[in-house]
């Protein structure tokens, strides 16, 4: 399950693993069977905050029952319970991780551990996964770990956690703004919350420095209402995701199929972006052949450094095409996609 | 004087401890006798930058003379002289701290030490307080220390200072933007200064990770003038304080009773905020009883994480009510306050 | 060449050291002979990204040939090749550094090394300079080093690099946003790129804490076009530079004589700024004489801390006047300049 190539995670969609409905796995089933742009790259069956205390056992049962038969082609990363400041949550998390690895270890890409504290606490979580993996006979490193960065202590140790993580089973660093805001005592004033831009930058930087995936936090104002009509809050979510993409986060958190569809698209080069990248790559290659190190294209000075950004764009398209060709063939026209796939920068 | 419960410090009001007026303690007296929303949580008699060089002795005398008889119910934290880069200031600060502890140690909550440098310099300041405390027979840790973070070195070591501080007499980290801007060579252009948002975030995070209080810096454009009329610059100050509250600073610096009144209010949940928190706590408790881990309230998805933010709001109201009941009874109506005080989340 | 006084670097102008023109040194010659506000404080003959692969040897030859006879009065800092992740680039950089020091060591202030990684890589670059300096008989520390901070690893180690650098031949930390954005995977969306404000703050802080020079990155949208007319993009560049000056960067990157002229001016106090600083210094000195520690000037409370900012302004004018008196005498009127030069704060 562990691979060396960059992990595609434009979307990290949590789904409560049990809800008080006739089908308690309603949201889990919905995530596992999503198609097109609504299919998340990572599906995160949630045993933690999205599931009520007396549904935790059912949540675990649902995951164990559903995964073996699911035809979901993305990655699956259940979120278990944990807390750097409360041993009871860690004990429950330990049992949940053991059950998941024992019962459905081969269908998991890893587990998501929330509310981690300083580096020592992250290492403690890693040990739990390592022990379960060993005990149930999986190859070392085959069950990944992603953590939710949502305590002041984890942020304080972010650099150390990421550096340690680069040589471990750690795969993803995910921001958890709601707990984080509570811990810092951040306030919403005039309808404005802190956007924690510096933290997102730090998350993006440390992930890049250590080959980890960096993911944004949930946007919980799912719906707006005005003059009596309730509607999906699509503008505000897209604004948040665009901001995350600008600073280089690999993907975003989704709570809803609409959010998944938007985040998949925003974390994917637009047709214009791809066209522009191809054009600049070709212009630069031509200029370099003629002895020029930097060339002006449409008013922008393009050199080796700028060039890398355009190459990134093309490579992202390729990675997405490998994973979900139905998305690339939907978004780009055939000739453009062919050109991107055949380019050898 | 040292307590384990969270320290309330919505307002850190500095008052020059001596000015060239008939009553040299005019501003000190004014701070010590303030009432209602103009009473700061922390009063900071200033022997440092707010007091002229030839008034320093008088400033110390005024504090020693006034504190024993003052009926001020908040905390008192004189600011002494210090400098990481100039031994003469450290020597003066040492004498000022010794005098304060010797003469009025029982009336102090701690001392504020400005212009600290790297961790070593902060430890040096701590030693001065520890020695005075021991020499004059006060229990260990009874005289607190807060430092003003206003040098590039202190910011560079902020994480280390806060982590060390969590196990020491250190109580507060206060931002000093004016010296800081001078040290970095920051410029005001088109009437815009750097707002040092990343630093405020870092201050808030490290304080939360180590149970310290984080405080914003002074806003010195006290007055505006337009078309011949001079007026208190209340909008701009409130904007700054709101920004500080959003990122979770515990309180703000005040240079004037008007600023104190505004900062006390802004760092206190508004009646609407309290009403909304109570409503969401009650809705969530009800949902959890019915087996749901997350519930939509007015378009927002509320789960255990969101819930903590609402509990924070109610707890802040309680802490303020314990300290200054005249403020809570003025701001909230009786039934709302009763509900907040009786809630058991 | 090494001096203890603050290094003036308002402008860091790169010039491709060889281009496929009749005069391959066209841009190098242009930089070396610039006058007035178009003269950069640091000229950076570029052997790296601005020069095409098959022109590298010519680029080195051009520098070696031009420097001895140039009458350029600013500092000269060639940029060589390097890469923390590719030994071939480091090997080329090593040869370029050796050639430069051997042939024109006495005409260089230092070399600029791009794409450095963690502290170990920066030390590796430093060793190359140290060895060349020793081998060719230059005094220890006479050939400076500046590095371009453009990898996630360098940013992760920024604090350590700067602290180590404070006791080494390191002089400048220069931001490289284009490579950096590529490495983090940052995206341009709706024409908006990440502005990396937190990183600029961090660069400014660490430089100030360790007596280094901090410089902003290039702005490559040199030209705009609208309704068929192509024009120099002067507003957008000035906006970026002003933002850099606000957070205390010492200077900015320039790719064009127009950019140099703007950056030299923006990183220089305006006549109004200088007048205001002189007025506040004089008012404060008068107040302090009268026993007041803080005084209101035009609605602003001025104390020892605020005062330092005004003194900074005057001192910057003096440093610029020492280096390029034709710029100060052009910008300020005689009486204002005399007053600034004679003030003794």
pLDDT in tens, A241-293: 999 999 999 999 999 999 999 999 999 999 999 999 999 888 888 877 777 77
Task: Select from B84, B186, B228, B253 the residue whose CB has the most chain C CBs within 10 Å, as the one to mutate to test that interface.
Answer: B186
Separation in Å, CA of A255 to nearest CA in chain C:
23
- pLDDT at position B284, please? 84
Integer CA distances (angstroms), C246 to A217, B193, C239, C242, in order:
30, 6, 11, 6
Listed as own residue / partner, the contacts of A336-339 with beta carbons closer than 8 Å and 24 or more positions apart are A336/A271, A336/A274, A336/A275, A336/A278, A339/A278
Stretch A47-71: mean pLDDT, rounded? Answer: 94
How far does CA A219 lie from the centroid of its chain? 14
pLDDT, position C303? 80
Q: Chain-centre distance of CA A52, in angstroms?
A: 24
Report d(CA C119, CA A66) in Å as an integer: 48
Average pLDDT on B305-334 reads: 92
Q: Distance between CA A67 and CA A23 in Å, rounded?
A: 16
Q: Do residue B208 and residue A55 have CB atoms under 8 angstroms apart?
A: no
In angstroms, what separates the C-alpha of C80 from chain B's closest C-alpha?
Answer: 29
Q: Is residue C3 very low, low, confident or very high in pLDDT (cuts 50, 70, 90)?
A: very low
Check CB contact of B192 with chain C, cutoff 8 Å. Answer: yes
Answer whether residue B258 shows pLDDT above 90: yes
Q: Measured between beta carbons, which residues in chain C are less than 8 angstroms from residue B184?
A: 204-205, 208, 247-248
Task: List, in sequence order, every residue forming a beta bridge with C301; answer none if it has no partner.
Answer: C296
Average pLDDT over residues A325-344: 93
Q: What is the DSSP letter of C166?
A: T
| Residue with tokens 């931001």, as numbered in its chain | C175
Query: CB B153 to CB C242 under 8 A?
Result: no
H/E run at residue C191: none
> Which pLDDT score, from 0 to 100, does residue C1 have?
36
- pLDDT greater than 60 at residue A1: no
Nearest CA in chain C to B224: C299
A148-174 per-position pLDDT tens digit: 999 999 999 999 999 999 999 999 999
C291 interaction partners in chain B (CB closer than 8 Å): 19-20, 52, 54-55
Chain position carrying tokens 């630093």: B199
- Arithmetic mean of pLDDT, C241-264: 97
The helix (run of H) or strand (run of E) holding residue C110 is strand C110-113
CA dihedral A247, A250, A253, A257 (to 10 degrees): 120
| The pLDDT of residue A188 is above 70 | yes
**Torsion over CA: B114, B118, B124, B129 (sign):** positive
Q: What average pLDDT score do residues C211-239 get?
A: 94
β-pair partners for A144: A110
Closest Cα to residue B345, out of B321, B323, B316?
Answer: B316
A to C CB pairs, distance under 8 Å = 123
Pairing of strands B170-175, B213-215: parallel
Whether C296 and B222 lie within 8 Å, measured CB to CB: yes
Give the whole-angstrom CA distance, residue A154 versus residue A174. Answer: 11
B223 interaction partners in chain C (CB closer than 8 Å): 296, 299
B189 secondary structure, DSSP code: B
ipTM for this model: 0.93
pLDDT of residue C345: 67
Q: Contact, A157 vs A166, CB < 8 A?
A: no
CB distance from C236 to chain A under 8 Å? no
10 Å Cβ neighbour count for B311? Answer: 16
Residues C147, C111: contact at Cβ < 8 Å?
Answer: no
Distance CA B114, CA B145 (A): 11
pLDDT at A113 over 90: yes
What pLDDT shows up at residue C104?
Answer: 98
B236 to chain C, any CB pair closer than 8 A? The answer is: no
**Would you give the end-to-end CA distance of chain B in angstroms?**
29
Chain C residues whose CB is inside 8 A of the A250 CB are 185
Total Cβ atoms within 10 A of residue C26: 16
Longest dimension (CA), chain B: 70
Phi, psi of A333 (to 5 degrees): -80, 160
Cα distances (angstroms) measured from residue B73 to each of A95, B30, B76, B102: 51, 14, 9, 21
pLDDT for B6: 56
pLDDT at A2: 41
Tens-digit pLDDT profile for residues C303-321: 887 888 899 899 999 999 9
- Flag if C242 and B20 touch (Cβ within 8 Å): no
Sign of the alpha-carbon dihedral angle for B99, B101, B103, B109: positive
State the pLDDT at residue A5: 47
- C2 band by pLDDT with thresholds 50, 70 and 90: very low
Of A290, A311, A312, the CB nearest to C20: A290
Examine the pLDDT at C50 and tell me if it is beyond 60. yes
Diameter over CA atoms, chain A: 70
CB hemisphere CA count around C55 (13 angstroms): 27
Radius of gyration of chain C from Cα atoms?
Answer: 21
Interface test with A, best of C51, C154, C182 (most A CBs within 10 A): C182
**CA nearest to B198 within chain A:** A198
**Does residue B7 have a pLDDT over 90?**
no
Q: What is the DSSP letter of B37?
A: G
Closest-CA residue of A relative to C117 is A209
Candidates B303, B140, B223; CA nearest to A49 is: B303
Interfacial C residues in 113-172 facing A (CB < 8 Å)? 150-153, 155-156
At B345 the pLDDT is: 67
- Interface check for B312 against chain C (CB to CB < 8 A): the answer is no
> Which residue bears the tokens 């006290």?
B222
The helix, strand and coil proportions of chain A, stated in percent and rounded to the nearest 5, come to 50, 15, 35
Residue with tokens 């998944």: A260
Q: What are phi and psi of B290, to 5 degrees?
A: -90, 5
Per-residue pLDDT band for C282 (boundaries 50, 70, 90) equals: confident
**Separation of alpha carbons C337 and C304, rounded Å:** 24
Q: Which residue of C has its CA nearest to A214?
A: C184
Q: Are strands B42-46 and B295-297 parallel, antiparallel or unpaired?
A: unpaired
Give me the count of residues in chain A: 345
B311 sits in which H/E element: helix B304-323
What's residue B121's pLDDT?
Answer: 98
Cβ contacts of C12 within 8 Å, gap of 6 or more: C40, C41, C42, C44, C77, C172, C174, C215, C251, C252, C253, C254
3-class DSSP assignment, residue A345:
coil
- Give me chain A's average pLDDT, please: 93
Show the tokens assigned to C49.
């990204």
Is residue A79 within 8 Å of residue A299, measured between CB atoms?
A: no
Pick from C18, C152, C193, C229 the residue to mutate for testing the A interface (most A CBs within 10 Å).
C152
Own/partner long-range contacts of C311-315 (Cβ < 8 Å, ≥24 apart): C311/B182, C311/C277, C311/C281, C311/C345, C312/B182, C312/B185, C313/C269, C313/C273, C313/C274, C313/C277, C314/C274, C314/C277, C314/C278, C314/C281, C314/C340, C314/C343, C314/C345
Q: What's the confidence (pLDDT) of residue C5?
A: 47
Instruction: Please state, rounded to an integer, the average pLDDT across all residues of chain C.
Output: 93
Averaged over A113-138, what is the pLDDT?
98
Per cent of chain B over pLDDT 90 is: 82
Size of interface B-C (CB pairs under 8 A): 121
Q: Pseudo-torsion of CA C238, C243, C246, C248, nearest 10°? A: -100
Phi, psi of B185 (to 5 degrees): 75, 30
Q: Which domains does chain A have, with CATH numbers?
A: 11-266 (3.20.20.60), 271-342 (no CATH)
Contacts of C81 in chain A (CB under 8 A): none
Query: For residue B290, what pLDDT is reported?
Result: 75
Helices and strands counted in chain A (H then E): 14, 12
- What are the angstrom distances between the C-alpha of C233 and each of A136, A305, C195, C226, C265? 63, 21, 17, 11, 16
DSSP string over C192-224: B----HHHHHHHHHHHHHTT-EEEPPP----EE
Window 244-283 of C, Cβ < 8 Å to A: 255
Which helix (H) or strand (E) segment holds residue A246: the answer is: helix A234-246
Under the banding of pLDDT at 50, 70 and 90, the label for residue C6 is: low
pLDDT for A290 equals: 75
**What pLDDT is stored for residue C113 in this prediction?**
98
CA atoms within 13 A on the CB side of A60: 20
pLDDT tens digits for range A312-328: 899 999 999 999 999 99
Chain C residues within 8 A of B196 when measuring between CB atoms: 201
User: Which among B46, B153, B166, B163 has a CA at the least distance from the CA of B100?
Assistant: B46
What phi and psi, each to the nearest 5 degrees, are found at residue C233?
A: -85, 65
Asked if A152 contacts B209 with a C-beta cutoff of 8 angstroms, the reply is yes
- Tell me the residues of chain C between 21 and 60 that have a Cβ less than 8 Å away from chain B: none
DSSP A282-333: HHHHHHHHTTBS-EEETTEEE-HHHHHHHHHHHHHHHHHHHH-HHHHHHHS-
In this complex, which of C53, C55, C225 lies closest to A299 when CB atoms are compared? C225
Nearest residue, CB atoms, B293 vs list A16, A176, A196: A16
């Amino acid at each position: 399950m562990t691979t060396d190539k960059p992990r595609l995670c434009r979307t990290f969609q949590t789904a409560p693993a049990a809800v008080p409905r006739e089908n308690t796995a309603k949201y889990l089933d919905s995530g596992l069977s999503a198609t097109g742009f609504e299919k998340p790259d990572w599906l995160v069956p949630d045993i933690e905050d999205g599931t009520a205390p007396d549904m935790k056992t059912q949540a675990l049962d649902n995951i164990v029952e559903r995964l073996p038969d699911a035809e979901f082609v993305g990655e699956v990363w259940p979120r278990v319970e944990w807390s750097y400041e409360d041993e009871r949550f860690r004990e429950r998390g330990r049992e949940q991780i053991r059950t998941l690895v024992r019962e459905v270890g081969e269908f998991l890409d890893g587990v998501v551990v929330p509310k981690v504290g300083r580096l020592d606490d992250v290492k403690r979580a890693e040990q739990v996964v390592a022990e379960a993996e060993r005990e149930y006979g999986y190859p070392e490193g085959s069950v990944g770990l992603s953590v939710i960065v949502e305590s002041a202590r984890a942020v304080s140790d972010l650099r150390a956690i990421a550096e340690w993580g680069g040589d471990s089973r750690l795969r993803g660093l995910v921001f958890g703004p709601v707990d984080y805001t509570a811990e810092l005592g951040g306030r919403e004033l005039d309808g404005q919350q802190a956007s924690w831009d510096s933290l997102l930058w730090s998350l993006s930087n440390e992930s890049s420095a250590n080959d980890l995936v960096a993911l944004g936090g949930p946007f919980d104002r799912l719906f707006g209402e005005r003059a009596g009509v309730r509607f999906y809050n699509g503008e505000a979510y897209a604004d948040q995701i665009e901001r995350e993409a600008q600073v280089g986060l690999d993907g975003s958190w989704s709570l809803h199929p609409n959010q998944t569809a938007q985040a998949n698209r925003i974390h994917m080069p637009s047709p214009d972006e791809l066209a522009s990248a191809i054009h600049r790559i070709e212009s630069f290659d031509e200029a370099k052949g003629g002895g020029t190190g930097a060339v002006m294209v449409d008013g922008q000075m393009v050199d080796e450094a700028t060039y890398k950004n355009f190459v990134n764009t093309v490579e992202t398209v390729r990675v997405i095409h490998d994973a979900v060709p139905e998305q690339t063939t939907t978004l780009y026209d055939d000739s453009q996609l062919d050109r991107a796939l055949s380019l050898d920068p």
